[in-house]
Amino acid sequence: MNRLPMVTKLLHTRYRVNDLEKTVSFYKDVLGLEEVKRHKSPRGSELVFLKTPNSDELIEICSFPASGPIVIGPDLTHLAFEVADLTAFAEHAAAKGYTLSDGPTESSSGTFAFIDAPEGYEIELIQYRK
């Protein structure tokens, strides 16, 4: 019997935030993501979808004050992005007011570090060894 898979594709990952514009600015100006869509959902959430170069999946940034304040647990979740030059990225981010929160750390596959996005979500940056 030939069954279809239950899911077929990862579409997006959502992060709910208190300050939509500050967070969207971080993803666009610091990480270099592209805003591809913005709208209000039927239940009233303000949604902004961002795209990373070379990836199909989107990141959804959501503001929905009716759900109450955002409480982000430490080390609960993070997004990981590949970077071509971790040192250059760290200098670029620092110039915009965002310093690395951990690392850089060498690993068998390259170098990685972390930076905190507004609201406390953690971002991992990986520079693979060539």
Domain with CATH 3.10.180.10 in the chain: 10-65, 77-130
Span of 20-24, 30-34, 52-56, 110-114 with lowest mean pLDDT: 52-56
Give the pTM. Answer: 0.87
- Classify domain 77-130 at the CATH topology level: 2,3-Dihydroxybiphenyl 1,2-Dioxygenase; domain 1 (3.10.180)
The answer as to CATH 3.10.180.10 being correct for domain 10-65 is yes
Phi, psi (rounded to 5 degrees) for 85: -145, 100
Confidence (pLDDT) at 124: 95
Helix (H) or strand (E) holding 91: helix 86-95
Task: Report the amino acid identity of residue 45.
Answer: S
Confidence (pLDDT) at 60: 97
